[in-house]
Amino acid sequence: MENVYFNRVEQLRRLMAERSWDAVIITGSDPHSSEYPALRWKQVEWLSGFTGEAGDLVVTADHAGLWTDTRYFIQANAQLAGSGIILHKTRVPEQILIPQWLALHAFPSEKERIVIAVDGLCQRVNAIKELEAAMGSAGRSAAAENDESSYRIVSVPDLLEPLWKDRPAIPSTPVMSLSEGTVGERRTSKLARLREFTRTKGCDAILLTALDEIAWTLNVRGSDIEYNPLVISYLLVSAEGAQWFVRKEDGAADAGSLEVFADLEAEGIQVLPYDDISIVLAGGYDVPGRLFVDPSTLNHNLYSILEATFTDGRLVEGDSPVGLYKAVKNSVEINGMRECHIRDGVAMEKFLYWLETSVREGTVPVNERGAAIRLGEFRAEIEDYQGDSFETISAYGRSGALPHYVTPQRDAPVLEAHGLYLVDSGGQYLSGTTDITRTVPLGPCTMLEKEDYTLVLKGHIDLAMAVFPKGTAGCQIDALAREPLWRTHRSFGHGTGHGVGFFLGVHEGPQDIRQNFNKVPLEAGMITSDEPGIYREGLHGVRHENLLLCVEDGESEFGSFLAFETLTLCHFDTSAVIIDLLTEDEKAWLNAYNARVFETLSPMLPKDAAKWLEVKCRAIK
């Protein structure tokens, strides 16, 4: 049977031959460097069949490769089978990333001229610079006008357009505006902060291209990208005003959106068509003197326009300040997050009660897909629920060994009254964003399952109990969650914690908790996940996840200290815990947490679920 993805790669190779391209790079992102792109920009998935959120493709005349990290190795091997595409592993000691691979391994050394084609709309400026640096270090020089013994990178926006005949259009969904009472700060105040930052950098304007940064700045939300309340757009802010480049046609042109656009215009924010951004940046309108851009999110296509327009040092590059602005939540956002986690916890406990009862009784089989749907129904009962914050990972037994498992639409595995079931899910609410993972013992567990369950829980608790000096970065406390696993020669390949937005992306920076060096310190007001895990291919997976709020924890002669407040409220099942593996401090934390869950949530649960939760939350000794 022919493999559709093998055929698509061959079609691309024919296009490459026609246009004299030696290599093509396809990224899994969009023109805004989004982690989760809209369907239009899921080019890696269309070409390869790989559905993971992180993956880039390289195709040459004799090789096709997918680069992805440890979260997706098992998934990638399964999805790439028969396509002719080879998995290249990242976040491992022996990794060779795309720039180095192209520079050192992709072409024979005697080849005089190399042409690498990229979709400039979906390639970050920094990615192109990394490619140029690698090619240069390999002894190749960038192509000059008449230089035939070098490499050349050509930007081809919408590169796959000739092949992808039914490619989806750029989405345009209704736009909503959030009040100061919901988010705690007016957009005029946020714009003033941006203008002050721009002034300190000696610039006249700043261009924002990251969608979550634009949504946060303007206090707007949409649904252009599934699970992410974002509006596909660009924002140009100058001392005199602001221009928002957004799709106003199709779905977004409803009455509510038009009212939002009118309010923005009244506040001095000009609303322009999305595609006009290149005209403005090329000088079609009044262009400010010096422009600040963030090359980590700016796409290569717009950067090329800016390079030609903002000459003589008028283009200033650096990190956008908005990532840090929105990472540190204000008091209104923090209160909203606390409240939505209570309501989300009620939905989770209703689900877990239903799950245990249904599996134990066994009268109607429950499969992974059915469980995910039922959880979504419980969340949908919450008044300000806006949808899930990502696709629910509902994984039983061996399925849990894939950290980003995609639950099958059909013929999903049936849950049985033994072993471990992992559910990673979250909700979007007007009052915040949630992300929670629970690994649930459905009945008798093996000793190995219990050991993994307990050691991962130890790591989770040890991080949650952390106290650390101000100025500490997440990478400096990451080992707290890993050490219980390391002691038994176990580990996990993904990060321990990511930032979470306020009714925004479930993943955000600039802070994180992971082994990779990230110098951004944790600050009071930041919200970060705590999710160590362990994954055994063919057997099971374990992950325990709560969201943590970083809070002040007092001062001494040694300085100021920070700690964590756990926002997530949902019990940890102690039936699979090997108590002797826990320290007294860990047992005290676990008992106090489960007691708090019961005290907070039981009054809002049906009586039978509340009685069940009381048993689940009994202290261990």
- Per-residue pLDDT of 215-226, as tens digits, reads 999 999 999 999
Average pLDDT (408-416) is 94
Three-state SS at 498: strand
Best CA proximity match to 320, nearest among 293, 346, 345, 341 = 293
Q: Where are the alpha helices (DSSP H) in 111-220?
A: 125-137, 180-183, 187-200, 211-218
Is the pLDDT assigned to residue 289 strictly greater than 70?
yes
Strands 233-238 and 23-26: unpaired
Whether the CB-CB separation of 116 and 153 falls below 8 Å is answered with yes
Best CA proximity match to 150, nearest among 158, 141, 159 = 141
Three-state SS at 283: helix
Q: Round to whole Å and give the CA distance between 99 and 295.
A: 17
pLDDT at residue 137, rounded to an integer: 82
545 pairs with which residues across the strands?
437
pLDDT at residue 256, rounded to an integer: 83
Per-residue pLDDT band for 406 (boundaries 50, 70, 90) equals confident
pLDDT at residue 246, rounded to an integer: 95
Is the pLDDT assigned to residue 250 strictly greater than 90?
no
pLDDT at residue 218, rounded to an integer: 98
**What is the tens place of the pLDDT at every residue in 40-79?**
999 999 999 998 888 999 999 999 999 998 888 888 888 9
Per-residue pLDDT band for 146 (boundaries 50, 70, 90) equals low
pLDDT at residue 287, rounded to an integer: 61
| Phi, psi of 530, rounded to the nearest 5 degrees | -130, 100
Whether the CB-CB separation of 28 and 42 falls below 8 Å is answered with yes
Distances, alpha carbon 490 to alpha carbons 10, 406, 451, 458, 481, in Å: 41, 24, 11, 13, 12
Average pLDDT (99-103) is 91
Per-residue pLDDT band for 148 (boundaries 50, 70, 90) equals low
| Tokens 């080019």 sit on residue | 43
Percent of the chain whose pLDDT exceeds 70: 97
Torsion of CA 506, 507, 513, 515, to 10 degrees: 140
Q: How far apart are the first and last CA of the chain?
A: 59
Half-sphere exposure of 196 (CA within 13 A, CB side): 7
Q: Round to whole Å and give the CA distance between 377 and 356.
A: 17
Is the pLDDT assigned to residue 138 strictly greater than 90?
no
The pTM of the full predicted model, rounded to 2 decimals, is: 0.93
- Counting every residue written for the chain, the total comes to 621
Percent of the chain whose pLDDT exceeds 90: 83
Average pLDDT (526-551) is 97
Whether the CB-CB separation of 41 and 30 falls below 8 Å is answered with yes
| Phi, psi of 254, rounded to the nearest 5 degrees | -80, 175
When the pLDDT of each residue in the chain is averaged and rounded to a whole number, the result is 93
Best CA proximity match to 455, nearest among 618, 577, 545 = 577
Per-residue pLDDT band for 383 (boundaries 50, 70, 90) equals very high
Nearest-5° Cα angle at 418, 412 to 422: 55
CA 449 remoteness from chain centre: 28
Whether the CB-CB separation of 68 and 80 falls below 8 Å is answered with no
Is the pLDDT assigned to residue 39 strictly greater than 70?
yes
Distances, alpha carbon 261 to alpha carbons 211, 212, 235, 257, 269, in Å: 17, 18, 14, 6, 9
